[in-house]
Amino acid sequence: MYKEILTISAILFMLIPIVTIAQHQSVIAENAGPELVSDDFEFTEGPAADRLGNVYFTDQPNNNIHRWNLETGEISVFLENAKRANGLFIDNEGNILACADKNFQLIKITPQKEMKVLIDNFEGKNLNGPNDLWMDNKGGIYLTDPYYQRPYWERTSPELESQNVYYLAPGAKSLVSVAKGLVQPNGIIGTPDGKKLYVADIGDNKTYSYSIAEDGSLYNRKLFVEQGSDGMTLDNEGNVYLTGDGVTVYNENGEQIHHIPVDEDWTANVTFGGENHSTLFITAMDALYSLEMKVKGTRW
């Protein structure tokens, strides 16, 4: 019996790496790894893909929004003087929604590069600095508002007492605070059915899930994982991608299924773009990376 136990244990021990590798490779295309697209920037952030798979991202220190072209693979400047845009989201009409913290605003940029301020305050006070956002199927916008002191600000302290998540309902002219009690909310993403919202509290190294009510309010907060994140995305299998030390992938139960190392000191954000939205685009320090996947994004 002892020998049989040893034999079974040995077999199980040998199988563990195989199972781990199989799980480890489940979301990534075979033999694929992060590939450098370009490192001609200062600090990349806010990647977002349009319906075709073109990817827009920000270089906030240089105050530009760039565009990666699906057909040519080339990167060009889409917009200069972008009001220090950070997180981006592209709506169904092709407008870019941007968290622009130069003047603590949420703005809309049309395909013709016309800019409109959607919101610039909460209850008459300047926002901390809108950072990341997600739009629901109704056209409502959730945004995180952490405070990061910027060198281009004259102010040296926030006007608001807390760092919250806000919701701008369709057609509304003012924000509603929908998530409080966070240290420093940052990354945010919602499920395509509009029923769940993930919010990363990078200041407390935690990510939470919330249920979304019909009116856009949030309830039923649950700890998703003990990890914060700068940015995040979802794939069509419900896996959640968190950033910081490379990209860490969790299934919808909060179990880690993969870690994607990125050869940079910090990984800021991720999105799915490219053909069939099956390429993961990663913004990290001064660079943009791409990674071919077996899964794809949840939009378009």
- The series of mean pLDDT values per 10 residues for the chain, 300 residues long, is 36 37 68 97 98 98 98 98 98 97 98 97 98 97 98 97 98 97 98 97 98 98 98 98 98 97 98 98 98 96
HEC per residue, the chain: CHHHHHHHHHHHHHHHHHHHHHHHCCCECCCCCCEEEECCCCCEEEEEECCCCCEEEEEHHHCEEEEECCCCCCEEEEEECCCCEEEEEECCCCCEEEEECCCCEEEEECCCCCEEEEECCECCECCCCCCEEEECCCCCEEEECCCCCCCCCCCCCCCCCCCCEEEECCCCCCCEEEECCCCCEEEEEECCCCCEEEEEECCCCEEEEEEECCCCCEEEEEEEECCCCCCEEEECCCCEEEEECEEEEECCCCCEEEEECCCCCCCCEEEEECHHHCEEEEEECCEEEEEEECCCECCC
d(CA 186, CA 130): 9
Number of domains in the chain: 1
- Domain for residue 157, yes or no? yes
On whether residue 149 sits in a domain, the answer given is yes
Residue 14, pLDDT score = 40
226 domain-assigned: yes
pLDDT score, position 272: 98
Instruction: Report yes or no on 204 lying in a domain.
Output: yes
Let me know: does 27 contact 251? Beta carbons within 8 Å.
no
Question: What is the distance between the alpha carbons of residues 214 and 39, in angstroms, rounded to a whole number?
Answer: 43
Whole-prediction pTM: 0.91
* Residue 299 included in any domain: no
How is residue 35 written in tokens? 């590939």
* pLDDT for the residue 26: 82
How far apart, in Å, are the Cα atoms of 10 and each of 3, 129, 231?
10, 55, 41
Domain that holds residue 170: 2-292
Give domain status of residue 281, yes or no. Answer: yes
Residue 67 belongs to a domain with what CATH number? 2.120.10.30
Q: Tokens 């945010």 appear where?
A: 188
Q: How far apart are the first and last CA of the chain?
A: 57
**Considering the domain boundaries, does residue 249 fall inside one?**
yes
**Residue 300 placed within a domain:** no
pLDDT at 300: 86
Question: Of 248, 245, 246, whose CA–CA distance to 224 is shortest?
Answer: 248
